[in-house]
Amino acid sequence: MTTELNTEINSPFVCDMTALGPAQREQHIVTSGQLFQAVQEVRELPDGYAFRLPNDSATLLKAAEFVAGERLCCPFFGFVLELEPEGGPLWLRLTGRDGVKPFIQAEIGDHLSLS
Amino acid sequence: MRKVINKVFAYVTHAGRLLVFSHPDHPEAGIQVPAGTVKEGEQPETAVLREAFEETGLDNLELVAFLGEQRRSMADFGLDQIHHRYFYHLRYNGRPPESWRHYETEPSDGGSEPIAFDFFWVRLPEGVPALIADHNAMLPRLLDYSGRLPAF
């Protein structure tokens, strides 16, 4: 049995897929698929994963669109979009508290085309 | 990559009451609503009716509405699993007993021993006890829309 204290400390990772309306959700799935199929490199971080993406304006906008939708479904994720200077790569970092990595794998794994 | 297990949850209602159950042999499993695993190739709408029948023994169930879905890590229960959960409102169109024991003969965990469930009805919303593992996650949505219906 989960105690109240344990629930507070180890509150589960829960994504509410219906936080988005049906049309919004359908678009979010398409956006997620397109974004993560474009991933060129994945780096494991202590608190999540970093995804290297093509450095172009269309991908940057798609990444922002992904973040805008995903944060509604999965409010426990942290997001960082980083554009390195001098035309360097675009990175999307998806992070969270301890235990978040398996959840990221489940959320994103199906979309990744990297082996 | 981690496998996501699809689960269905049934909020079975009758005359303003919700069906819940306890495990007489495993009280640590808490109070739950009927739920189970979606089979390979099975639609969630089909699975929820199948699971609700198998778990409760009630055969006059009507699927009323899809309430929502969520993905939940089960790490807080010591399971290295992610569950994708589909929640439905089912209505029982009959005269049910106030409480009864039913045996699940095809447990989701693959066990071969029948599992006893003790079912009972609770009044919505004030009579609903604490449900384990977020089984109550979509109850607010059930109450939101069912509140607009004359009976459910």
Average pLDDT along chain A, 115 residues, taken 10 residues at a time: 40 88 93 95 95 96 97 94 94 94 86 62
Cα-Cα end-to-end distance for chain B: 42
Residue A8, helix vs strand vs coil: helix
R_g of chain A computed on alpha carbons: 15
| CB spacing of A99 vs B72 below 8 angstroms | no
Q: What are the pLDDT digits (tens) for B15-39?
A: 999 999 999 999 999 999 999 999 9
Question: DSSP labels for B9-65?
Answer: EEEEEETTEEEEEE-TT-GGG-SB--EEEPPTT--HHHHHHHHHHHHH----EEEEE
Helix (H) or strand (E) holding A113: none
| CB spacing of B73 vs A10 below 8 angstroms | no
- Which residues are CB-contacts of A106 (< 8 A; sequence separation ≥ 6)? B1, B2, B4, B71, B82
- For the segment(s) A20-108, the CATH number from 1.10.1660, 1.10.10, 3.40.50, 3.30.1360 is 3.30.1360
- Which domains, and CATH codes, for chain B? 4-146 (3.90.79.10)
CA-CA distance, A101 to A48, in Å (whole number)? 5
Mutate to test the interface with B, among A18, A29, A112 (most CBs of B within 10 A): A18
CA B144-A24-A68 angle, to 5 degrees, is 105
pLDDT value at position B78? 87
Residue type, A24: Q
Contacts of A13 in chain B (CB under 8 A): 71-73, 75
ipTM, 2 dp: 0.76
Q: Does A26 touch chain B (CB under 8 A)?
A: no
B 94-113: CB under 8 A from A: none
Q: What are the pLDDT digits (tens) for B104-124?
A: 887 666 667 888 999 999 999
| CB spacing of A106 vs B77 below 8 angstroms | no
